[in-house]
Amino acid sequence: MPRSRVDREAERADIQAMPPWLRRSIGKASEISTVQQIIKQRNIHTICEEGRCPNRGECYAQGTATFLLMGPTCTRSCGFCQVDKGHAPMALDPHEPQKVAESVQLLGLRYVVLTSVARDDLEDGGAGWFVATMAAIRATNPETQIEVLTPDFYGGRQENLSPETLQAQRVKTIVEAQPACYNHNIETIERLQGTVRRGAKYDRTLRVLQLVKQFDPTIPTKSGLMLGHGETEAEVIQTLKDLRSVGCDRVTLGQYMRPSLEHLPVRKYWHPDEFEKLGAIARELGFSHVRSGPLVRSSYHAGEEE
């Protein structure tokens, strides 16, 4: 049913009525343009740009960035995400791992996060591509630490293998490459998974984090939540407990900000004091690294110690 003029105006007001603590400078234009020039010359992507992260200038200045592997088109359609969606993503660029490695070297990055769109069309879900990119970075930048932020690797099918077996194989492939941290975001509380994360499941995310610890308990695991979809404080705390139950070491909590009228509306802007309270609770639950604040994103200050 088409939206009425009143509905459209209400939605526009929802986007514009951000509280003052969410309004900030994106950083020095020179630092942002340098990164943009390097990645555009190589036809590669960063989630910093594709997701219009409000912290990208700060992260670039601190020598960190998050590269988006395997193209900018996702095979899933989550209701909160800025990344483009489509069932026919672009073919893999065989030179992408080396291009990312060159960019890391040119930018002098100390800590790199590798993430990707969900590539359910690929036989291994893209797990091997993460490993290839990690190897390329290490060949030219041996001191750079690499964190991975992966999809759940549940898509795609192979004869005689269950989705759970495929997921485990793909996670193990990346764990064996020894990332500095393995991140997989749960994004929201269990009740809202179907609305917010179309194509993803709460238990499936917990299983990814559990598998990492099963294959190598020495690798730190990490997850993140975007608040503002209608969750309660009690539900957020329960999610934190569920993450700890599978050995998740690190957590990020940030405010969801609606990218456009086509995305899910913001149900609540959580106050900085509420984020501070949740961060304290997360530390009490045993998380070793906690980032909790309105502008926090999953890779925010990723390379820093708590």
Mind listing the pLDDT tens digit for each residue in 190-230? 999 988 887 789 999 999 999 999 999 999 999 999 999 99
Lookup: tokens for 159: 């004869």
Confidence of residue 25 (pLDDT cuts 50, 70, 90): low
Residue-level pLDDT at 53: 59
- Domain enclosing residue 42, as ranges: 5-223
Q: Which of 53, 216, 274, 204 is nearest to 282 (CA)?
A: 274
Give me the residues paired with residue 250 across strands.
222, 289
**In a domain? residue 297:** no
State mean pLDDT over 77-91. Answer: 60
Residue holding tokens 């041996």?
Answer: 142
- Does residue 27 come out as left (phi exceeding 0), alpha (psi in the -120 to 50 range) or beta? left
DSSP letter, residue 42: T
Confidence of residue 241 (pLDDT cuts 50, 70, 90): very high
Average pLDDT value for the chain: 84
Is the pLDDT higher at 34 or at 110? 110
Q: What angle do CA 183, 220, 242 make, to 5 degrees?
A: 70
Q: What is the pLDDT of residues 51-61, one digit of tens each?
A: 555 656 566 66
**In a domain? residue 156:** yes
Q: According to the per-residue pLDDT averaged within each range, which of 24-33, 52-61, 123-132 is highest?
A: 123-132
Distance (Å, rounded) from C-alpha 67 to C-alpha 148? 10
Is the pLDDT higher at 29 or at 70? 70
Helices 163-175, 202-215: axis angle to 10 degrees equals 50
**In a domain? residue 9:** yes
Lowest mean pLDDT among 121-130, 237-246, 271-280: 121-130
Cα 71 to Cα 40, 52, 124, 280, 285: the distances in Å are 13, 16, 16, 37, 37
Residue 10: Cβ within 10 Å count: 12
**In a domain? residue 138:** yes
Q: Contact at 8 Å (CB) between 284 and 100?
A: no
State mean pLDDT over 142-149. Answer: 96
Residue-level pLDDT at 155: 76
Q: Which of 305, 303, 304 is nearest to 146 (CA)?
A: 303
Residue-level pLDDT at 1: 44
Distance (Å, rounded) from C-alpha 159 to C-alpha 86? 25
**In a domain? residue 270:** no
DSSP letter, residue 293: S
**In a domain? residue 290:** no
Lookup: tokens for 93: 């660029």
Number of independent structural domains in the chain: 1
